[in-house]
């Protein structure tokens, strides 16, 4: 992935067009889940607007579940944007009932793929009876409550395993986004500790700082391997709840990685002009979407007991 495509200095419209022209939005259909995962790492590293991932997840859900396929050409070309409301944002093992809460980027979506009691449907975001309300979230995360008041839909029956697989895929891909976030924070921290001097030498030369950086690196390596394992299995047709649970538990540690980055930056780490807070805010949000480490531990327990 060319870093220039994800450059922060691009305005949102230019960035969207660059990603569409590069074929990124077509990866869920033209590529593999591993390809989407590679992009998610770089998206996290560059703090790519979440509407890009929301659209990728929408295309992935439509392709896997076979619902609303007429939207695919528009989504993959960048002509349309989408989002999903397929599972409870607090627990990916639970479906959506009635009102969909904490739906990312619903305000920009042209189509919303939603689960209902009768199945899954791709709903036009301009459909009569559909309303969108903003939800206050950390760091300005684009979250919304979506209400369906007698919205006309044609749901397609989908079994629980199919729905759980797409939910697990979204969680696993978000884990790779977290890896990118953590790696960017680590890179910034290493550069800063080499530059910043205390007592006449760089603070990177002090053993205490080295231990913290080493722990950050170990946590990120574990998170990356666990998430890649989950994505690999999901991409080959498995539901992979066990692997996804482990990936989520490991990726949750990225939140601490970003806090360690703040600590090693000292007072500079809490100056918003440095932009470091953007990584910690994204890590805090993404480490809970679809279920935090405690929720994932329950998935793992259920899998092992079964």
Query: Tens digits of per-residue pLDDT, 168-188?
Result: 999 999 999 999 999 999 999
pLDDT in tens, 188-237: 999 999 998 788 898 888 999 999 999 999 999 999 999 999 999 999 99
C-alpha–C-alpha distance, residues 184 and 204, integer Å:
17
* Per-residue model confidence (pLDDT) at position 114: 94
The bridge status of strand 130-135 relative to strand 201-202 is unpaired
33, 39, 44, 48 alpha-carbon torsion, rounded to 10°: -120
- Using a 10 angstrom Cβ sphere, with 0-12 exposed, 13-18 middle and 19 or more buried, the burial of residue 247 is buried
Domain 161-305, CATH 1.20.140.10 — does that match?
Answer: yes
Least confident segment among 96-100, 101-105, 139-143, 154-158: 96-100
- Would the pLDDT of 8 be above 60? no
pLDDT in the model for residue 271: 86
* pTM for this entry: 0.94
Q: At what angle do helices 33-45 and 207-235 cross, to 10 degrees?
A: 150
Give residue limits of the domains in the chain. 3-158, 161-305
pLDDT range class, residue 262, cuts 50, 70, 90: very high
User: What pLDDT is attached to residue 197?
Assistant: 77
Burial of 128 (0-12, 13-18, 19+ CB in 10 A): exposed
Q: What are the φ/ψ torsions at residue 88 (nearest 5 degrees)?
A: -65, 130
**244 token code pair:** 């996804």
Using CA atoms of 302, 101, 86, 62 in order, give the dihedral in degrees to the nearest 10. -150
Q: What is the DSSP-derived secondary structure letter of residue 86?
A: -
Looking at the predicted structure, is the pLDDT value of residue 44 above 50?
A: yes
- Which residues neighbour 111 within 8 Å (Cβ) at sequence distance 6 or greater? 58, 68, 71, 75, 80, 82, 122, 123, 124, 125
Percent of the chain whose pLDDT exceeds 90:
78
3-state class (DSSP) for residue 151: coil
Residue whose pair of structure tokens reads 């791709």 in the numeric block: 122
- Provide the edge-to-edge strand list for the sheet that holds 111-116: 82-85, 111-116, 119-124
Express each pLDDT in 51-69 by its tens digit: 999 999 999 999 999 999 9
- Looking at residue 139, its pLDDT comes to 81
Structure tokens at 12: 């949102």
104 near 83, Cβ under 8 Å?
yes
Q: Give the DSSP letter of residue 31.
A: S
Mean residue pLDDT across the chain: 92
pLDDT digits (tens, 9 = 90+) for 109-163: 999 999 987 889 999 999 999 999 999 888 889 999 999 888 888 889 999 999 9
If one compares 272 and 10, the residue with the highest pLDDT of the two is 272
pLDDT of residue 1 exceeding 60, the answer is: no
Q: Is the pLDDT of residue 5 over 80?
A: no
Q: Label residue 279 by pLDDT band (50, 70, 90).
A: very high
Contact in structure between 46 and 4 (CB atoms under 8 Å): no
Helix (H, G, I), strand (E, B) or coil at 222: helix
Give the whole-angstrom CA distance, residue 138 versus residue 213.
Answer: 26
Percent with pLDDT over 70 in the chain: 96
Structure tokens at 155: 């749901």
* Local confidence band at 306 (pLDDT 50, 70, 90 cut-offs): low
């Amino acid at each position: 992935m060319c870093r220039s495509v994800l450059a922060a200095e691009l305005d949102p419209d230019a960035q969207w067009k660059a990603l569409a022209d590069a074929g990124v939005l077509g990866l869920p259909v033209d590529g593999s889940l591993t390809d989407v995962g590679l992009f998610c790492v770089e998206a996290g590293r560059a703090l790519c607007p979440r509407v890009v991932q929301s659209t990728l997840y929408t295309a992935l859900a439509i392709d896997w579940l076979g619902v609303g396929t007429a939207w695919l050409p528009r989504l993959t070309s960048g002509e349309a944007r989408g989002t999903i409301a397929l599972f409870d944002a607090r627990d990916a093992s639970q479906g959506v009932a009635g009102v969909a809460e904490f739906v990312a980027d619903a305000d920009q979506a042209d189509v919303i793929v939603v689960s209902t009691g009768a199945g899954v449907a791709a709903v036009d975001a301009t459909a009569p009876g559909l309303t969108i309300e903003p939800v206050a979230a950390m760091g300005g995360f684009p979250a919304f409550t979506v209400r369906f008041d007698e919205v006309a839909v044609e749901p397609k029956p989908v079994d629980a395993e199919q729905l759980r697989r797409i939910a697990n895929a979204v969680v696993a891909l978000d884990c790779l986004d977290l890896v990118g976030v953590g790696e960017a924070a680590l890179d910034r921290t290493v550069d800063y500790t080499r530059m910043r001097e205390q007592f006449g030498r760089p603070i990177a030369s002090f053993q205490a700082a080295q231990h913290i950086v080493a722990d950050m690196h170990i946590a990120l390596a574990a998170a990356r391997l666990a998430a890649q394992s989950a994505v690999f299995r999901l991409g080959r047709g498995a539901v992979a709840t066990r692997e996804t649970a482990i990936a989520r538990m490991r990726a949750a540690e990225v939140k601490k990685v970003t806090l360690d980055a703040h600590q090693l930056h000292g007072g500079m780490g809490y100056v918003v002009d440095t932009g470091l807070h953007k990584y910690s805010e994204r890590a805090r949000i993404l480490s809970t979407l679809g279920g935090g480490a405690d929720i994932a531990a329950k998935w793992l327990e259920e899998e092992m007991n079964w």
